[in-house]
Amino acid sequence: MRTLFLILAAVLPVLPVSAQNLPELGDTSGALVSPQMERKIGEQAMREIRFRDPHFVDDPELTDYVNTIGRRIVIASPDARRDFEFFLIRDNSVNAFSLPGGFVGINTGLLLAAQSESELAGVLAHEVAHVTQHHIARLIGKQEQSMIPTIAAMVVGMIVARGSPDLGQALMTMAGASSVQSQLNYSRDFEREADRIGFQFLQQAGFDVGGMATFFERLQKATRLYENNAPAYLRTHPLTVERIADMQNRAQDAAYRQAPDSIEFHLVRGSLRAEEGTPQDAVKEFDEQMRQRRYASEAGARYGLASALLRARNFPRATGEVASLRGLIGPHPMVEMLAARVRTGAGDVQAARELLRAALARNLDYRPLHYAYVEALQNLGQHAAAAAALAELVKNYPRDARLHDMQAKSYAALGKRLLQHQALAEVYFLQGALPAAIEQLQLAQKSGDGDFYQISSVEARLRELRAAQAEETRDAKKR
Ligand SMILES: [Zn+2]
């Protein structure tokens, strides 16, 4: 949230918002900006990130992992029923941010800098607290309706600023130092509140609550060592000695709780490390680690080595490492998916499909496996089987845009145009792009290749979405 705060701090002074107009810190209702409005702002920003930020990580396994950890924290919060979405940004700087409405971005650099799962969870808990406490909404105060475009612009600015951290600084200078200071003081209160509330979530979720303090402490130390190259988290996020002391005190008062890292924590980190540098460099790095036994988890290092070997297209060695991994941790869906990628790389998509089919039988709840299995079917040109599998899956996960997108692909290959546009409509709908969703349904109507039942279903959905759009227009006019 820090970069966004800096930019908010820079833009707000030109708007008629004074400190007196801002709601009390104790008011967490977010009543001035409705939860629906918050969600809309978040969705709008998400669309920008998803489609315009080349660093957005579109990897189901990595995304599934951060959502599993994030979900544990959300369940411990009062917003347990809200749809949160955690996503990764490929960026080496150690940072995370949250958007209104339940979207939390995590830089891959942060995942790699965290030395334990509880440290990662500590940062996520802080970000979840920003969302549940409606910090942005409270900062925006009464300007909410007319400010939507401004906010969207600021969020886009935030994304740009991620690439050039000095932009936030520049905006601040432009806005004038004195008015910025009062906003910054205000955001420090938010930081303290996010620490305090986040700590409660972390504790209730069963993580080691010392994780927050140790992580921030390590960042602080790194800052002292690299004065001009401080981790982004600190540069954009006011962190004081006082905040660390607060976290340590809270951790001391709480009963110590051991929270061993999940195996996935190590596999995910191995996978991210394997993508650094050239494939040859990555292989060399992991070979070195294995030789010197210089790793926190052998499975993580081996998984990294196998992934690096896959990148280097050394399929025989990668296959050997996958076999060692199976010996080490038994059958694991992430290992089986890696095995399937190695087979696909070696040109045997059929073997990959069989590996995935077998793994699915043991892990029916692991969605990345479903995606990979359907993709294997699609790669083999078995679109009827893919469409059948997807039809079942969307019944279980109707809010999964990726599934609808895959469905559209198979329907297109099968020449089923009504179904293709209908599936695309759901993709847009789930991304909060109502007009585009309606357009797809109209295309579905005009396709002329559906049966009576399918045409009625498109018409019914079109009526629903038009009603939703009319409601939005009505709300907009009330502003
Ligand atoms: Zn924060």
Compute, in angstroms, the gap from residue 90 CA to the centroid of ligand 1.
Answer: 20
Q: Identify which of 146, 173, 170 has the alpha carbon closest to the alpha carbon of residue 160.
A: 170
Region for residue 293 given its phi and psi (left: phi exceeds 0; alpha: psi -120 to 50; beta: otherwise): left
Q: Kindly write down the DSSP assignment for every residue of 241-265, as one continuous string.
A: HHHHHHHHHHHHHSPP---PPPHHH
Global pTM value? 0.84
For residue range 381-405, list pLDDT tens digits in order.
999 999 999 999 999 999 999 999 9
- Region 122-141: mean pLDDT is 83
194 Cα: distance to centroid of ligand 1 (angstroms)? 6
Spatial CB neighbours of 298, under 8 Å, sequence gap ≥ 6: 328
Ligand 1 centroid vs 130 CA: distance in angstroms? Answer: 7
Q: How many Å lie between the centroid of ligand 1 and the Cα of residue 123? A: 9
pLDDT score for 267 = 98
Report pLDDT digits (tens) over 82-102. 889 999 999 888 888 888 889
Torsion 132-136-138-139 (CA) sign: positive
Confidence band for 20, pLDDT divided at 50, 70 and 90 = very low
| pLDDT band, very low/low/confident/very high, at 320 (cuts 50, 70, 90) | very high
Distance from Cα 78 to the centre of ligand 1, integer Å: 18
Q: How many CB atoms are closer than 10 A to CB 255? A: 6
pLDDT tens digits for 239-257?
A: 667 777 788 888 777 766 7
Distance 4 CA to ligand 1 centre (A): 10
C-alpha of residue 138 to centroid of ligand 1, in Å: 14
Distance 180 CA to ligand 1 centre (A): 17
**Other beta carbons within 10 Å of 263:** 18
Residues 6+ apart with CB under 8 A from 410: 374, 378, 383, 386, 387, 390
CA of 190 to the centre of ligand 1 (A): 7
261, two tokens: 């890292």
Of the two residues 183 and 20, the one the predictor is more confident about is 183
Q: Give the C-alpha separation, 314 to 305, whole Å.
A: 11
Q: Which two tokens stand for residue 32?
A: 């001035």
| Average pLDDT over every residue of 319-327 | 97
Kindly give the distance from the C-alpha atom of residue 126 to the centroid of ligand 1, in angstroms, as a whole number: 6
**Per-residue model confidence as pLDDT tens digits over 418-429:** 999 999 999 999
Give the model's pLDDT for residue 30: 42
What pLDDT, on a 0 to 100 scale, did the predictor assign at position 372? 98
| pLDDT confidence band for 15 (50 / 70 / 90) | very low
Mean of all residue pLDDT scores within the chain: 82
pLDDT of 154 > 90? The answer is no
- What pLDDT does residue 12 have? 32
pLDDT tens, position by position, 262-313: 999 999 999 999 999 999 999 999 999 999 999 999 999 999 999 999 999 9
% of residues, the chain, pLDDT over 90:
57
**Cα separation of 452 and 464, whole Å?**
19
For residue 388, CA distances in Å to 376, 403, 456 come to 14, 12, 21
**Mean pLDDT calculated for residue range 178-195:** 63
pLDDT of residue 157 exceeding 60, the answer is no
CA of 137 to the centre of ligand 1 (A): 14
What is the CA(311)–ligand 1 centre distance, in A?
36
Handedness of CA 351, 353, 356, 357 (dihedral sign): negative
CA 403 to ligand 1 centroid distance, Å? 33
Q: How far is the CA of 467 from the centre of ligand 1 (A)?
A: 38
260 CA from centroid of ligand 1 (Å)? 26
- Residue listed under structure tokens 């949230």: 1
Ligand 1 centroid, distance to 119 Cα (angstroms):
15
Looking at residue 151, its pLDDT comes to 57
- Most confident by average pLDDT, 24-38, 123-137, 227-241, 380-394: 380-394
The CA distance from 436 to 243, in Å, is 45
pLDDT of residue 432: 84
For residue 191, the CA-to-ligand 1 centroid distance in Å is: 5
Ligand 1 centroid vs 329 CA: distance in angstroms? 37
Buried b (16+ CB within 10 A) or exposed e, 153-190: ebbbbbbebbeebebbeebbeebeeebbeebeebbbeb
Task: Please report, as a single letter, which amino acid is at residue 252.
Answer: Q
pLDDT of residue 82: 82
Q: Which pLDDT score, from 0 to 100, does residue 232 have?
A: 54
159 vs 285, residue with greater confidence: 285
- Residue showing tokens 């020449």: 415
C-alpha of residue 356 to centroid of ligand 1, in Å:
40
pLDDT digits 0-9 by tens, 38-80: 887 788 778 878 887 889 999 999 999 999 999 999 999 988 8
CA 347–ligand 1 middle distance (angstroms): 46
Average pLDDT over residues 122-131: 91
Instruction: Give residues whose Cβ lies within 5 Å of ion ligand 1.
Output: 1, 191, 194
| C-alpha count within 13 angstroms, C-beta hemisphere, residue 279 | 11
CA 71 to ligand 1 centroid distance, Å: 19
